[in-house]
Amino acid sequence: MSSSTMIDGIAGTGDAVGSDPGRRPLKLEDPATVTTITELIASHDGGAVHARLREEWGDMAPVELEPGARAWLVTGYRTIVAMARGQLPLTMTTGTWSGHEREAPSADSPLLRPLASVDRPTVEQSDGSRHSRLRTPLDDALGGIDDAEVTRTTRARCDKLIDEFAATGVADLVREYVAPMPHLTLGAVLGFDARTAQQVFEAAARPAAGRDAVSAVHEVSFLLTGQAAARRADGTPTPAGRLARHAAYESTAEAALGVLSLTATAALGLQAWLAQTIYLSLTDDRFARRLAGGRLGTDEALDEVLWTAPPVSALAPRIAVDDFLLGGKLVQRGDALLLAVGALGSDPSIRGEGPWDGSGSSAHLTFGLGAHACPAPHLARLIVRTAAETLHRRLTPTLTLRPEELRWAPDFRFRLLESLPVVFRPEQSSPSEHEL
């Protein structure tokens, strides 16, 4: 270790290394067997898994991502806050993960993609002054978006999506509504036409390393060149145009990486939040009534999703840049740490016993905090709220599977349902009746 007196990075909670010679701190590789992250993803009661991990390991548990690849799953509110605020020696640069130095499983694994080593770090994978420089264009572009425009655009695009299946009486709401929603809504809000938005979001969905990543940067760089002069009807630059020409970017490739990072994360976050909202409305009558209660009821319902069915399981991974002791565990340089904000809804230290306790509070940390917090949580809420309200206004779907038959995609960051098959009374009205 760099210092023999390195203590918990959270003031007042730790002991100096070596203060108790009889107690050897736990290293990530010490336990013979640990809970796999796939068990947590597959569970229909993630809170129970988190509670078991807390009971066994405390606020930081060793978990297996893939055979031969482990990480620390951080489930304690105070510890997550300290790490997100940079109070411990951590970096966002995933290329420093120790798994790259040994024969870890292939980075093609969807569970390891967030830890891939990249040639050109995005804003999400950068620290310090570089991160600040790359973050500024996103804040500038997203900060000038009009709420009313977001609502109008989202409602219109969502109505058109529903038009495609409303008369059939049957749909997979993930495939036909949730999955395409982000590129149609956020893409339009950013100023992309439908075809360009689809190309950008498809490029953003490719792996962040290797030839796919290089081709994505080239493709989006080309698309942004055409957006540089793009204007709104009032003559002001579109958000995409602001990003394409922002002075903080040193090249078009940097601007392309900014757009790819924004759209990749936003697409998954929007999909997860909307899908979890629809899932609860189909499986919990009380929640469905709350969702139908108008704007205030919808916002309270969306808050409840963030607590009881969190769409974000963990923030972007951090990597230790030095050894440190925390709660009886020895975090070693190169260890990966997953800040499991999805565990906070089941943390009795910040929530009470009631089913709605915590609603309205941001202690769920879904949008992160510190320098790497989500740049536009209000925009995300507007889009998800409008998409959920539009679906509820048009249809009254019923789930065709038992809730326990539903499955989530292999992703340790976002809670992504693979399907939501439903039936409903076919709509008889023509599509034009729903156009603005």
Task: Provide CB contacts within 8 A for 295, sequence distance 6+.
Answer: 385
Given a cut of 70, the residues of the chain with pLDDT beneath it are: 1-22, 103-107, 208-210, 228-230, 233, 294-296, 351-362, 429-436
d(CA 248, CA 242): 11
Tokens linked to 387 = 């998409």
Beta bridge mates, 398: 423
Q: Strands, E, within 295-384: which ranges?
A: 318-320, 324-326, 329-331, 336-339
What gap in Å lies between CA 344 and CA 346, rounded to an integer? 5
Let me know if 398 is exposed, middle or buried by CB neighbors in 10 A (0-12, 13-18, 19+). Answer: exposed
Q: Which residues contact 262 (CB under 8 A, 6 or more apart)?
A: 138, 375
CA–CA separation, 388 and 181 (whole Å): 11
So what's the pLDDT on residue 251?
Answer: 92
State the DSSP code for 96.
G
CA distances for 322 relative to 97, 276, 319, 390, angstroms: 12, 37, 9, 49
> Residue 243 is encoded by which pair of tokens?
């990003």
| 32 C-beta neighbours (distance < 10 Å), count | 5
Give Cα separations from 196 to 57, 267, 368 (angstroms): 48, 15, 29
**Partner residues linked to 325 by β-bridges:** 330
Which pair of tokens denotes residue 225?
Answer: 């060149």
Predicted TM-score of the model (pTM):
0.91
- In Å, how far are 147, 310, 314, 322, 384 from 378, measured between CA atoms? 9, 17, 20, 35, 10
Helix (H) / strand (E) containing 70: strand 69-74
**β 90-91/398-399 pair status:** unpaired
**Other C-beta atoms lying within 10 Å of the C-beta of residue 131:** 18
Burial string for 404-432 (b: 16+ CB within 10 Å, else e) reads eebebebbbbbbbbeebbbebeebeeeee
Sequence-distant (6+) residues with CB within 8 A of 214 are: none
CA–CA distance, 302 with 297 (Å, rounded to integer) = 9
| Helix runs in 164-293, H state only | 173, 181-190, 194-204, 211-227, 239-245, 252-283, 285-291
Nearest alpha-carbon partner for 262 in 203, 175, 178: 203
3-state helix, strand, coil in the chain (%, to 5): 50, 10, 40
